[in-house]
Structures are given as C-alpha cells and as structure tokens.
Homo-oligomer: A and B are copies of this chain.
C-alpha cells in the first residue's frame, strides 16, 4: 500500500496550537501514516503518544525545521505532493491522486501559505472553493482518497475499543 503522510506548515505560536493537534489527530484517524510539522509544541508529540497507547496504531509525529526539504525529499523519492488550498483544482478532477498508486504527501497550511508551495506541489487541490478549515479540508480529502475504507482501519495493540452505542458510551478495555 502506498504511504500517506501529512505536512503541516505555517504554524503560528500559541494561536495554532490546538488546531495543529486537531490536524494530527485527523491525520491519524483518517488513515495517514505520519505527520511532519513545522513548529508545534512537545505536548503534541505527548498527546499523540498517549492516543497511540490507548487507541492503538503507530502514527508518528516528526518536527521539522524546513518544510521545503520535506517536500523535495518526497518528490525525489517518487512521491506525489498535494497541497490543499481553496484556490486549487476540484478534488474530483485530479485523476492521478484519485488512483492512489503513489506515495502521497498532503500539505496543509494556515491562513497564509508561502507562494512557492503552489509551484512546488504536484497538485494544488481544493476540497471546497469556500473558506473553511485546514482540519476539515484534510479530513474530507482523506475520507474521499481512501473512499471511506480508512474508517474500518484496525489500530493495532489498542488498549481500548469503542462498541458503537445508540445512547451512551461503551468502551471495552482490551
């Protein structure tokens, strides 16, 4: 199976702390293998370690200084770079991404994104042409990319598992 990684750029101190955590959790829950993040606090790594420990899987967080290096390495190793932006091409029109044959790096930014990213990316892809959120863009992109299969993913070595419930919380300790 091709690998899917997420790269989060444009972090602004404090202001984006919770958003970055949400992005990392979305990446994990919706089937990505790892996240590279420029900036972000050590407690992000701690949060993800705890989530892995309880809910399973081995989703990885890597802090990076230079996002361009990550993009270049990804391209040099034959992977596709997909930048999510409201200005991009409609998701459903980008066939090479839909086919899902190559490793893919999904780049999500904050409000202001360096111009260079638009040209460095293989594809600039829009989840919607209306303003919303990098958290939702990533989730809907991954949900469509994996065609809903990501929600059936088995997270190995989980200590807890939810039994779906109509009216309450039903958590099984494994």
A residues contacting B by CB (< 8 A) are 15-16, 18-19, 22, 25-26, 28-30, 51, 55, 86-90, 92-93, 118-119, 123-124, 126-133, 135-140, 143-144, 148, 151, 155, 161-162, 164-171
Contact = CB atoms under 8 A, between A and B. Distances in A.
Given A123-B166, A143-B144, 18 more contacts: A15-B18, A22-B136, A25-B131, A25-B132, A29-B132, A29-B136, A30-B132, A87-B162, A87-B165, A88-B165, A89-B164, A89-B165, A124-B165, A124-B166, A127-B151, A128-B151, A129-B161, A135-B135
A110 to B, nearest CB: 10
Contacts of A25: 130-133
Assembly stoichiometry (copies): 2
B131 A133 contact: no
A59 to B, nearest CB: 10
B131 A51 contact: yes
B26 A167 contact: no
